[in-house]
């Protein structure tokens, strides 16, 4: 697009993120992952999968993260596979069943324009618990008729499971973040079991049949009638993604001591690896306070004490902490650049600035940043000595180019 590069550079220049810029300038690039324009998985999904030792995700494949997301939602997919005679109770708790395939369903709105169908990100719909319960009843009915398992642990994230059958096997969707704001045509689920000799998989007719049946049931549903009456968008589809098997092909590695994230996939992978996972705290200070209270880090009263105790014979092993924030995603999808700049500035004040100070004061040894875009993710490492590397002058625009 003409002028897009200049517009991007102007936007990045308008940022007020001095701490992030300092970290970026002095950092060393240690890892990079670049996909293509039509890769179904997102860079952060591939990065997480690699860190946890999961099988590689190819361009035509969705990231198989739904079973791990279930763990973050308090469900137990392994219990489903343990006893084929048990089912899911009405409250949505996992009770059993021998299920092999799980996919995540998110209630969504697909807008019909004059020349395409466009997905609105599910998080922008504001579906409440009562609405979700009534809409989910329609899916539960269709799922039961097909011998499928269905569970709705939250208003915005549901799961469909299959122990035997062909609806989910070989299905690859795409994350809502990958498809939101775009024509859905190339992001609809495809069936790799029907791939041609060149490996190109067609759109799944079985899934589209299930989706069409659901759309007909929701078209005149009282929930949508009331939503439209108050000016809200109708919930007219479900978006499928993350289809994967449980148990997974390999037991996940444990690269992090503890994970802090709002994203279910990041927390679920940590749980699967036998490590704790928590929602993202409000800021770096709250993170440190929580770590001290939980005993994950020593309660060092000041930087001098931190320096004295580092490397002592009685020290506990170093903690590697994953912090994932999605604060910039929705403003980017909405192309609300003022909100994007404000969110970035808030991250700088609440996370990057205190983390940089902690690095300078020997409270932490290393910061690794992994900015993720639509096609690429790059990991940068910063240690205290790197802060003296005045000859390094990396810019954000240069990192993204």
What's the CA gap between 175 and 396, in Å, rounded? 25
State the pLDDT at residue 373: 84
Query: DSSP 3-state assignment of 316?
Result: coil
pLDDT of the residue at 394: 81
pLDDT score, position 130: 97
Per-residue pLDDT of the chain (401 residues; tens, 9 = 90+): 334 445 566 677 778 899 999 999 999 999 998 888 889 999 999 999 999 999 989 888 999 999 999 999 999 887 654 444 444 443 333 344 455 799 999 999 999 988 899 999 998 999 999 999 999 999 999 998 988 899 999 999 999 999 877 899 899 999 999 999 889 999 999 999 888 888 888 999 999 999 999 999 999 999 999 999 999 999 999 999 999 999 888 778 899 999 999 999 999 999 999 999 999 999 999 999 989 887 766 444 444 444 433 433 344 567 899 999 999 988 888 888 899 999 999 999 999 999 999 999 999 999 999 999 888 899 999 999 999 988 888 877 777 66
pLDDT score for 128: 95
Q: What's the predicted TM-score (pTM) here?
A: 0.88
Q: Do 387 and 380 touch, CB atoms closer than 8 A?
A: no
Q: What is the reported pLDDT for 83?
A: 45
pLDDT score for 80: 56
Which among 39, 37, 38, 185 is positioned nearest to 118, based on CA atoms? Answer: 185
Length in residues, the chain: 401
Where are any strands of DSSP class E within 75-207?
A: 101-112, 117-120, 149-154, 157-162, 171-172, 190-191
Q: With left for phi above 0 and alpha for psi between -120 and 50, is residue 315 left, alpha or beta?
A: beta
Q: What pLDDT is recorded for position 92?
A: 38
Supply the pLDDT for residue 316.
54
Q: Of 134, 164, 161, 165, whose CA–CA distance to 150 is shortest?
A: 161
What pLDDT is recorded for position 400? 66
């Amino acid at each position: 697009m003409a002028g897009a590069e200049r517009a991007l550079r102007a936007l990045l220049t308008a940022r007020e993120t001095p701490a992030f810029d300092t970290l970026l300038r002095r950092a060393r690039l240690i890892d990079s992952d670049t996909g293509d324009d039509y890769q179904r998985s997102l860079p952060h999904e591939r990065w997480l999968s690699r860190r946890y030792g999961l099988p590689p995700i190819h361009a035509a494949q969705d990231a198989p993260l739904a079973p791990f997301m279930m763990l973050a939602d308090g469900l137990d997919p392994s219990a489903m596979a343990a006893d084929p005679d048990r089912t899911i109770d009405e409250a949505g708790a996992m009770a059993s069943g021998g299920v092999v395939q799980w996919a995540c369903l998110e209630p969504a709105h697909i807008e019909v324009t004059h020349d395409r169908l466009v997905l609105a990100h599910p998080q922008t719909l504001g579906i409440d618990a009562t609405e979700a319960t009534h809409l989910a009843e329609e899916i539960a009915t269709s799922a039961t008729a097909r011998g499928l398992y269905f569970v709705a642990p939250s208003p915005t994230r549901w799961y469909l499971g299959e122990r035997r059958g062909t609806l989910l096997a070989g299905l690859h969707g795409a994350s809502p973040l990958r498809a939101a704001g775009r024509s859905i045509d190339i992001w609809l689920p495809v069936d790799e079991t029907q791939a041609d000799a060149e490996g190109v998989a067609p759109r799944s007719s079985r899934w589209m049949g299930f989706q069409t049946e659901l759309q007909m049931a929701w078209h005149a549903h009282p929930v949508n009638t009331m939503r439209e009456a108050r000016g809200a968008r109708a919930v007219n589809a479900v978006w499928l993604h993350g289809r994967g098997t449980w148990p997974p092909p390999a037991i996940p590695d444990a690269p992090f001591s503890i994970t802090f994230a709002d994203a279910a996939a990041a927390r679920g992978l940590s749980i699967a690896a036998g490590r704790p996972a928590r929602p993202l705290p409000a800021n770096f200070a709250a993170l440190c306070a929580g770590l001290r209270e939980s005993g994950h880090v020593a309660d060092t009263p000041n930087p001098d004490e931190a320096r004295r105790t580092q490397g002592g014979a009685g020290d506990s092993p170093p903690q590697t902490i994953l912090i994932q924030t999605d604060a910039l995603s929705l403003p980017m999808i909405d192309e609300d650049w003022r909100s994007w700049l404000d969110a970035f500035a808030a991250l700088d004040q609440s996370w990057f600035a205190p983390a940089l100070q902690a690095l300078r004061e020997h409270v932490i040894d290393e910061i690794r940043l992994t900015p993720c875009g639509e096609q690429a993710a790059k990991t940068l490492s910063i240690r205290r000595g790197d802060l003296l590397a005045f000859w390094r002058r990396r810019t954000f625009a240069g990192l993204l180019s």
